[in-house]
């Protein structure tokens, strides 16, 4: 199969559809469009004209967070996710300042940790980092 990997072309409709394909909750359109607009870099994967995968990075030049790595279930285990991760990391590295270092983090879906370990990520906690923490904030309308 010949897939097309497109940079910085992720739009709301594609984002919504791909998240839905893996049964993830979606954000409001307004919230998602703001988030997509604030992405540092995105990759969208197409099989002809059908979007089949995506990934994005947010960051400030020191810390980066990989978000929304999705490959439609029928396209998984074909190397698409690995290519997305590689492209995201390559973009970060290419744009780093000489002599600098950055920290790239992500939150894995349960039972997907081994996929990310194969991509060079380390489980935390480890000797240099404590456990990851998260807080979700809701605003009622």
Hunting for tokens 């999705």 — which residue is that?
A: 70
pLDDT band at 70 (very low <50, low <70, confident <90, very high): very high
Q: Mean pLDDT over all residues of the chain?
A: 95
pTM over 0.85, yes/no: yes
Name the percent of the chain lying above pLDDT 70: 100
What CA–CA distance (Å, rounded) separates 52 from 72? 5
Q: What angle do CA 45, 48, 50 make, to 5 degrees?
A: 60
């Amino acid at each position: 199969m010949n897939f097309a990997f497109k940079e910085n072309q992720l739009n709301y409709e594609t984002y919504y559809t791909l998240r839905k394909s893996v049964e993830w909750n979606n954000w409001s359109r307004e919230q998602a469009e703001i988030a997509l607009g604030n992405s540092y870099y995105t990759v969208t994967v197409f099989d002809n004209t059908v979007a089949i995968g995506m990934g994005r990075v947010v960051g400030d030049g020191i810390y980066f967070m990989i978000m929304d790595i999705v490959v439609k279930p029928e396209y998984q285990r074909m190397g698409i996710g690995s290519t997305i991760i590689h492209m995201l990391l390559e973009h970060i590295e290419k744009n780093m300042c000489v002599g600098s270092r950055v920290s790239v983090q992500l939150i894995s879906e349960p039972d997907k940790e081994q996929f990310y370990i194969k991509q060079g990520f380390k489980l935390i906690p480890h000797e240099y980092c404590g456990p990851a923490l998260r807080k979700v904030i809701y605003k009622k309308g």
